[in-house]
Structure 1
């Protein structure tokens, strides 16, 4: 009898272990698929509801990923270090490769360039075989940036009170702000969709910036490669905000010029500078307000894919991930939108060709013009007209985003609030 009871206990324990492993595997696969397809908002929802079914290693793994996506970078690195250093928790090399890539993004967004170099070296030397050729090429190219910056201090912001400064719309409707560097003022495009700030080469000496020849390339929206170097502004002012150690990508003047429409820009204030403000409020009278103390929001409809901001957009009953680009005059729909709503699009619209332009030139695309579509963010919705829908994938990287979210939605409201520290966007 004792042996029988003992055997039953073993069988029950083994059955429980099998059930736990099966449950962990199913939830892990679902969460991984959501991560791979950039469905970050559902990823967070499913993780919160299913995390008790994950193993300790897998729970910490997705916690690190989510901390990164929703801009809690220090905690993401703490969890990653716990996973890497705890020998009691087994983590496969495949997951470690992803964790080190996430750690790299955290260091970049925290302006920790020396640590970015060290982490890049680990990936390239220890986990090279787990990254495909395009990922290796990207890592090696970007390593040139972080190596150039490895002795550069972290970017800082000095903000002693609530601040407001004007912006103006240029001839193509993009937001521009006055930027002061070494007592010289120039207007720059203000663009959350720019992964890094940009300056044209002819202004380096004019601003007396620290110039670093770096010999790397950036990929424009069109997929074309554009040669670039680095410049550092030790002090930069926007209104009454002061920034220290601001990094600019240096592009040739012709690479950020559009002579076909007589349009030329000095540069772009991109996401790393804008995100440092923690919260911005853009009003309909073209004023940007930055509070000294950000307000607490809990919408969690704003995420980061590396340095690319992502916003949750509702269409019909679906929540779709869009790139969030305040520098874009109009919203655009991408190939995943076409694939998801193919029957609806093919039934109502004719296939045609249209052109798009960005740094590096213009490219002709095949797609559709959607004459009227209603999109919603949070509790705010607006009807948008004549949106370009790309039938095929654009750019060189895999992209699962459903579109790019621009000013045509923003202009329907009196105020847009972006809380970077609370991962929330709302319209009033």
Structure 2
């Protein structure tokens, strides 16, 4: 009788443990699918003791990738891919993340190989849009496979930043003998330059054409060029990749405004930390700080910030190239009754490389935004009631200059992954 009771207790204990593990895996997969990276990491740490060795390494690799620990993520994925036979969807997920790791580590040939392998072996798991995206990305990285990785000689540097005609932040950038103001844009996945200015600088334009889509859902076509060396004051960056856009795609005749160039995420990532003050100083510090809690992750090459809006903790894109903060349809649907009660019906025009696009929206009463315990209030911002496609699929909004400009100093740190304000 005692033996039978003991067997039942052991069986109940094992069943309970298995049920707990299955529930934990479902939760991790839910957060992963929704790109709720901070919730994913919190749940992963909570479940870590009951995860299998494979699951521990699998979710750890994905979290490392989102937290910009790409070398660590790469090692874990290599072990997973070499260690056991995996299901097709699992292998595909790992290969896509490995491709992204290679891009962030400037290993363009590896990124192209990953893309080719995905298309040749796993296209049956992809829809037509995903296939087109991976094919286009692979074409981009294949064009760069013989380009040396970007390197940075990081020296304490300071320049005076200015606002251009429409209010965007510009920093002086020297390429060759020419110095010009480039837009500083965390929302740009790659640095960008106009075709005429690339020719003026005698940049070598690579023989490839890449299809792009902007946040306005307008399709653009670009080529590529590589600048042997780019200076921001005393800091030198070698082998900097630029998207080259036709001049008309960077011109806004209705505003009598044009962009020569944009400094995007890959340059910022290698600078590791920059400090920007309201009175016009753009500073690359000698020492990189690591004493601030993480509130930043990456979705591919896009910075995503965790913040509070009123009482909700949300993930939003962080975009220094956007003049105004806006919240997306996902936020509208989660707060529909309050938005419709407190807001007023309106529409906005979203400007991006290639044109403008009208979107229906509500303009909102004052709301409180809190970033790393720093609080500000914003009113009359837009909450969009229609989708922008993949641009707004997973996140609640886009944080722009109207929030940034309310603070005396902003620090962007891609090593410890945080944005802080003073």
Q: So what's the TM-score if we normalise by structure 2?
A: 0.96
The separation in 2 between residues aligned to 1:298 and 1:14, in whole angstroms, is: 46
Say if 1:152 and 1:231 are closer, same or farther in 2 by CA, change over 3 A.
same
The structural deviation recorded for 1:360 is 1.5
Is it true that 1:41 corresponds to 2:38 in the alignment?
yes
Superposed, 1:23-422 pairs within 5 Å as 23-87=20-84, 91-160=86-155, 162-396=156-390, 399-422=393-416
The structural deviation recorded for 1:391 is 0.5
The structural deviation recorded for 1:299 is 1.1
- Listed one character per residue, the Cα deviations across residues 362-381 of structure 1 (whole Å, up to 9, x for unaligned) are 11111111132211001101
Bigger shift: 98-107 or 356-365?
Answer: 356-365
Contact kept? 1:356, 1:363, Cα under 8 Å: yes
Say if 1:85 and 1:339 are closer, same or farther in 2 by CA, change over 3 A.
same
Say if 1:257 and 1:330 are closer, same or farther in 2 by CA, change over 3 A.
same
The structural deviation recorded for 1:12 is 6.2
The structural deviation recorded for 1:340 is 1.0
Q: So what's the TM-score if we normalise by structure 1?
A: 0.94
Q: Give the SS at the match of 1:123.
A: helix
Say if 1:213 and 1:371 are closer, same or farther in 2 by CA, change over 3 A.
farther
The separation in 2 between residues aligned to 1:354 and 1:163, in whole angstroms, is: 38
The separation in 2 between residues aligned to 1:329 and 1:275, in whole angstroms, is: 22
- Listed one character per residue, the Cα deviations across residues 26-77 of structure 1 (whole Å, up to 9, x for unaligned) are 1111112112222212222222122223222222111001100011000001
The structural deviation recorded for 1:19 is 3.4
The separation in 2 between residues aligned to 1:174 and 1:237, in whole angstroms, is: 20
The structural deviation recorded for 1:25 is 1.9
- Listed one character per residue, the Cα deviations across residues 324-375 of structure 1 (whole Å, up to 9, x for unaligned) are 0112111111001101111101112232322111112111111111132211
The separation in 1 between residues aligned to 2:363 and 2:201, in whole angstroms, is: 42
Contact kept? 2:303, 2:318, Cα under 8 Å: yes
Say if 1:183 and 1:10 are closer, same or farther in 2 by CA, change over 3 A.
farther
The structural deviation recorded for 1:395 is 3.3
Contact kept? 1:223, 1:396, Cα under 8 Å: no
The separation in 2 between residues aligned to 1:53 and 1:234, in whole angstroms, is: 50
The structural deviation recorded for 1:289 is 1.1
Contact kept? 1:302, 1:312, Cα under 8 Å: yes
The separation in 2 between residues aligned to 1:10 and 1:80, in whole angstroms, is: 39
- Structure 2 runs not aligned, ≥5 long: none
Q: Give the SS at the match of 2:364.
A: strand
Q: Give the SS at the match of 2:111.
A: helix
Contact kept? 1:297, 1:419, Cα under 8 Å: no
The structural deviation recorded for 1:298 is 4.0
- Structure 1 runs not aligned, ≥5 long: none
The separation in 1 between residues aligned to 2:49 and 2:86, in whole angstroms, is: 18
The separation in 2 between residues aligned to 1:421 and 1:154, in whole angstroms, is: 18
RMSD of equivalent CA atoms: 1.8
- Listed one character per residue, the Cα deviations across residues 210-238 of structure 1 (whole Å, up to 9, x for unaligned) are 11021221111111110111000011111
Say if 1:356 and 1:305 are closer, same or farther in 2 by CA, change over 3 A.
same
| Large movers: runs of 4+ above 4 Å | 7-17
Q: Give the SS at the match of 1:276.
A: helix
The separation in 2 between residues aligned to 1:14 and 1:252, in whole angstroms, is: 68
The separation in 2 between residues aligned to 1:20 and 1:159, in whole angstroms, is: 50
- Listed one character per residue, the Cα deviations across residues 187-245 of structure 1 (whole Å, up to 9, x for unaligned) are 11011111110001111221111110212211111111101110000111111110000
Bigger shift: 67-76 or 35-44?
Answer: 35-44
